[in-house]
């Protein structure tokens, strides 16, 4: 994973460049402001969220116990095959690649007035930014030693809160970015299997590659995935709620030419 200051600067630069693009029907700045405020509202969180985090954190805890064994098994599994595909797995969770693609899509939507493309890419950008910043904060809080930073293969080395630029294993930033991107796009389109399976599959391969490359422990990528999915799905839901909606209404016509027609109404985005 990139060092935290670099990740922080990358995410913010992507966000601010997009923020100063030409204004169209979808505004990244206004969307981000409204969605950021939603995190502080009690109605944002539902009962299933408690189940999500309860089960998820239990899985992280269980994985934490066997981190060393799982990490060793993955690191020495089929190295020839993994080395062949490894370069294609890492970029999906890299904020430079994911952020740049989402930014280009957003700018294209703004320039061509394609609100659907702007809205989708805005969702992805916000999800990656929020997930990235959340992960950076947790990394600086825990300062867990990466597998590649030691010889003892000890997953229980934590140094606590500081602003040091090393020992930033927990949680995995690549996993958080990859799963936030996958979850936001999939949830935006209501999770069709032909979209959800490849997106989450790519995110899973990205996370797996981080363990194989000894960048992270298994519990790191699991925690990063939990963060990414939760944030991506929440932001996609909020973004869709404020998207323009096309509705059709029956209209009864009287007079010389009586009949029934359909009236189209485009609801504006509410901020």
Residue 231 placed within a domain: yes
User: For residue 264, is it within any domain?
Assistant: no
The CATH number of residue 66's host domain is 1.20.144
Number of domains in the chain: 1
Residue 53: Cβ-neighbour burial (10 angstroms; 0-12, 13-18, 19+): middle
pLDDT in tens, 229-240: 999 999 999 988
- Do the domain assignments include residue 208? yes
pTM of the predicted protein model: 0.80
Q: What is the pLDDT of residues 16-55, one digit of tens each?
A: 555 554 444 446 777 888 888 899 988 889 999 999 999 9
Taking residues 245-269, what's their average pLDDT?
45
State the Cα–Cα distance between residues 28 and 18, nearest whole angstrom.
Answer: 7
Over residues 71-76, mean pLDDT: 85
Question: Tens digit of pLDDT for each residue in 144-174?
Answer: 999 999 988 899 999 999 999 899 999 999 9
Determine, yes or no, domain membership for 262.
no
Whether pLDDT at 261 is above 50: no
Q: Is residue 226 part of a domain?
A: yes
Q: Which domain holds residue 57?
A: 4-245
Query: Which segments of 54-170 are extended strands (E)?
Result: none
* In-domain check, residue 73: yes
Say if residue 61's pLDDT is above 70.
yes
Handedness of CA 213, 14, 234, 236 (dihedral sign): negative
């Amino acid at each position: 994973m990139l060092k935290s200051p670099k990740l922080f600067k990358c995410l913010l630069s992507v966000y601010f460049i997009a923020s100063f693009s030409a204004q169209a029907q979808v505004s990244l700045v206004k969307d981000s402001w409204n969605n950021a405020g939603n995190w502080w509202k009690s109605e944002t969180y539902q009962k299933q969220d408690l189940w999500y985090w309860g089960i998820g954190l239990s899985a992280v805890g269980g994985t934490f116990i066997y981190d060393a064994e799982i990490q060793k098994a993955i690191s020495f599994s089929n190295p020839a095959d993994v080395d062949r595909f490894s370069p294609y797995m890492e970029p999906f969770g890299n904020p430079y690649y994911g952020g740049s693609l989402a930014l280009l899509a957003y700018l294209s939507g703004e320039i061509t007035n394609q609100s659907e493309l702007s809205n989708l890419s805005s969702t992805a950008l916000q999800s990656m930014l929020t997930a990235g910043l959340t992960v950076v904060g947790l990394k600086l809080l825990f300062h867990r030693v990466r597998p590649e930073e030691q010889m003892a293969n000890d997953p229980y080395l934590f140094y606590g809160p500081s602003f040091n630029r090393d020992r930033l294993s927990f949680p995995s930033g690549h996993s958080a970015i990859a799963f936030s991107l996958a979850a936001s796009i999939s949830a935006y389109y209501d999770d069709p299997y032909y979209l959800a399976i490849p997106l989450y599959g790519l995110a899973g391969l990205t996370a797996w590659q981080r363990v194989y490359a000894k960048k992270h422990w298994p519990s790191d990528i699991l925690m990063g995935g939990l963060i990414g999915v939760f944030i991506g799905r929440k932001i996609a839901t909020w973004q869709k709620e404020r998207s323009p909606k096309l509705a059709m209404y029956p209209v009864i016509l009287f007079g010389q030419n009586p009949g029934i027609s359909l009236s189209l109404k485009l609801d504006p985005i509410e901020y």
